[in-house]
Structure 1
């Protein structure tokens, strides 16, 4: 029961923050959607900020870890599988944008705890991409290159593509960028 209550709070908080931003998130809405009273929240979290930080960490980390570590469990075709995951538009919400970018843009210059957490999450996202590239190099599917810089380029390009699709309301913007990015990534194949 306690674990379910905590999970409901985290899910509700993340959804509210993703839709309205941290500053626009309503504790009343979070509590109502979680179907708990304020006292229950204080049993698990000291305040809205702590709830927000925990929900962001748990939900975003889980999302990216699941998406990219599954690729590393393959025996081959790392680049192709990675590109297929990028093309899978069902994995993204182009109306709301990237949850990492949204929180970074809203909070990183306002609160050091958010800045530290989001930097850690973003660097983890880049490391996940680097790990895929490193595995492709190791398995001789890709030529040797600076995978750290390439992962930075890929992450930055993806963030820009998601932002473009969000700004224009046109998912094709994202797909067009991914098409060009895919061609570039595959140019490293052996």
Structure 2
């Protein structure tokens, strides 16, 4: 792994653990095992490095979501697979954590990929819901964008509930509740 890659991965981890303010250039260099010269050779400063780390995180989240939302199965099964996919619940979402970071929120350059990723995710979930409606699996009266926002909100809120409780059960309880609301109704002749 080259120095640039070490710096990006280290910054991702530190942003997740400490947030932007708590992530100093020195901490990044120490975690990456590289010197200051190497850091500034690859990046103009902490903000540029943070942007690269946030964009990498965005790519990873998109890949994670695509794997389940565009995979095999019915619309319900794909949403279920996405919500129940193995994840470190108590660590929360790397990007979700940054939505409450005041330095990220006020920096348009750093906030943009966070916002765009959540918007992308809601669009992908909306597409799956539309498929489920078209297939007769979901209620045709279902408000697609509102439901996609609720699914994303359950995911992020579940992380918060789990962290507050110190265990992952509140996350899974929230997810199971959402899935119960989405569960396709059995038709009388089935």
Q: TM-score, normalising length from structure 2?
A: 0.85
**Equivalent residue number for residue 105 of structure 1:** 100
Cα contact 1:137–1:143 (8 A) shared by 2 = yes
Q: 1:10 to 1:149 in 2, by over 3 A?
A: same
Distance in structure 1 (CA, Å) of the matches to 2:153 and 2:69: 21
Match of 1:150 among 147, 152, 164: 147
Query: Is 1:91 aligned with 2:87?
Result: yes
Which structure dedicates a bigger proportion of its chain to helix? 1
> What's the CA shift for 1:28?
1.7
Distance in structure 2 (CA, Å) of the matches to 1:66 and 1:132: 16
Query: Is 1:176 aligned with 2:173?
Result: yes
**Equivalent residue number for residue 29 of structure 1:** 27
Which residues of structure 2 form unaligned runs of 5+? none
Query: Is 1:130 aligned with 2:126?
Result: yes
Distance in structure 2 (CA, Å) of the matches to 1:188 and 1:113: 44
> What's the CA shift for 1:10?
0.6
Which residues of structure 1 form unaligned runs of 5+? none
Residue-by-residue CA offset, 1:35-78 (whole Å, 9 max, x unaligned): 2221222222110011011101112x222212221234434323
Cα contact 2:125–2:148 (8 A) shared by 1 = yes
> What's the CA shift for 1:22?
0.7
> What's the CA shift for 1:155?
0.8
Cα contact 2:161–2:170 (8 A) shared by 1 = yes
Distance in structure 1 (CA, Å) of the matches to 2:134 and 2:10: 41
Cα contact 1:126–1:155 (8 A) shared by 2 = yes
Q: TM-score, normalising length from structure 1?
A: 0.85
Distance in structure 2 (CA, Å) of the matches to 1:138 and 1:43: 52
Residue-by-residue CA offset, 1:83-139 (whole Å, 9 max, x unaligned): 133123x31341x32222211101344323233232112212222222322333344
Distance in structure 2 (CA, Å) of the matches to 1:69 and 1:91: 15
Match of 2:7 among 6, 9, 14: 9
Query: Is 1:42 aligned with 2:37?
Result: no
Match of 2:75 among 61, 74, 78: 78
